[in-house]
Amino acid sequence: MTLVILGALALSIVLPVRGQAAEVYDLFTKVAVFVLFFGYGARLSTEETLAGVRHWRLHVTILACTFVVFPLLGAPMLLLPDGFVSDAVRAGLVFLCLAPSTVQSSINMTSLAGGNVPAAMISATASNVLGVVLTPLLVMLLLPTNGGGFSWQIALDVFVQLLLPFFLGQISRFATARFMARNRARLKLLDQFVIVLIVYGAFSDMFATGKWRQLGWNELLVTLGFTLPLLAFMLWFTWNLSRWLEFDRPDRIAIMFCGTKKSLVTGVPIAAVLFPAATVGMLVVPLMIYHQAQIITSSLIAARLSASATRED
């Protein structure tokens, strides 16, 4: 997936979509996002939800890390002086902290490390579901100038493009549940296809209009200087917080991996809905950098935890 995303970035440099083709591409992307969130709703069964609700302390801890601790860490980025970084990059640094957690990566890493997989599945899914509502609300609260403040039009766009397809997917489960269960691996390709579609479109606009020149070395250094320490701190914080709260080892693993992840698959479509198309390419750069760093770092940590699973914590 990392190579495909890099390929989409390279293609957007060599062959960006322009003019009327860009308008058709934008419409196609919106339809793809609708289908993506319909699939999210259709895949989440009522039984899975009810099975994980009982472990409420773990879920509350993970959700608090995702939607309380992260936003508190990202809010100070709003104080960066004008001219130090562009408005889009500054908004992107904050938006990174408002995005929901990943699903597939959180579950895979938790499983590899010997953690509580069912709890990770429920918490990661809950983060994505709640993120459809909480992330736009947090954007409206913390990014009034970039997100346009509260707007009924924004609320309508969120509902039509994100919430409505998810609810329709839930309602359709009586007819689609078996199909979704049999084709989980293939449906993952849909997730990957949509994210590549959006990344290519967003960066095509950036390179076709020359907006890429706005990303200076100072902005890249600021982005790296914020995202990488942020990831390191949250990995340390979630691991020790779960110990202070006296969770057992499997739960601590689930809390660490679910509480530190940020979803590119869900975050980019939400950004595409909430922000002007011209700014999305620049805005999601911090999220993309964080996403790649979390995959590499979490893989190494999960492998080490798996190797030490037989030893006393």
Which tokens in the block code for residue 286?
Answer: 């911090």
pLDDT reported for residue 173: 85
Question: Domain map of the chain by residue range?
Answer: 44-77+86-305
Which tokens in the block code for residue 99?
Answer: 């995005």
The C-alpha torsion from 278 through 281 and 287 to 292, rounded to 10°, is 170
Rounded-to-integer distance, Cα 238 and Cα 75, Å? 19
C-alpha neighbours within 13 Å on the C-beta side of residue 104 = 15
Cα 214 from chain centroid?
24
Rounded-to-integer distance, Cα 111 and Cα 306, Å? 9
Taking alpha carbons only, the member of 272, 278, 93, 95 closest to residue 195 is: 272
pLDDT reported for residue 145: 45
Whether the full predicted model's pTM is greater than 0.75, yes or no, is no
Taking alpha carbons only, the member of 64, 113, 78 closest to residue 307 is: 113
pLDDT reported for residue 150: 45
Matching CATH number, 44-77+86-305, of 2.60.40.10, 1.20.1530.20, 3.40.1280.10, 3.90.950.10: 1.20.1530.20
- Return the sign of the alpha-carbon dihedral for residues 216, 220, 223, 226: negative
With both helix axes pointing from N to C terminus, report the angle between 285-307 and 87-98 in degrees, rounded to the nearest 10: 40
Which tokens in the block code for residue 55?
Answer: 């472990």
With both helix axes pointing from N to C terminus, report the angle between 164-171 and 19-43 in degrees, rounded to the nearest 10: 40
Render each residue's pLDDT in the chain as its tens digit; 313 residues: 667 777 887 888 888 888 888 888 888 888 888 887 788 778 766 665 566 567 788 999 999 999 999 999 999 998 888 777 878 888 899 999 999 888 777 887 888 888 888 888 888 878 877 888 888 889 888 885 444 444 556 556 667 777 788 788 888 988 888 888 788 777 777 777 877 887 788 778 767 766 566 667 888 888 899 999 999 999 999 999 999 999 989 999 999 999 999 988 788 888 888 887 777 878 888 998 898 788 878 888 888 888 776 554 4
Distances (CA, A) of 22 to 11, 19, 281: 14, 5, 14
Measured in degrees and rounded to the nearest 5, phi and psi for residue 80 equal: -60, 135
A 10 A CB-CB count for 278 gives 14
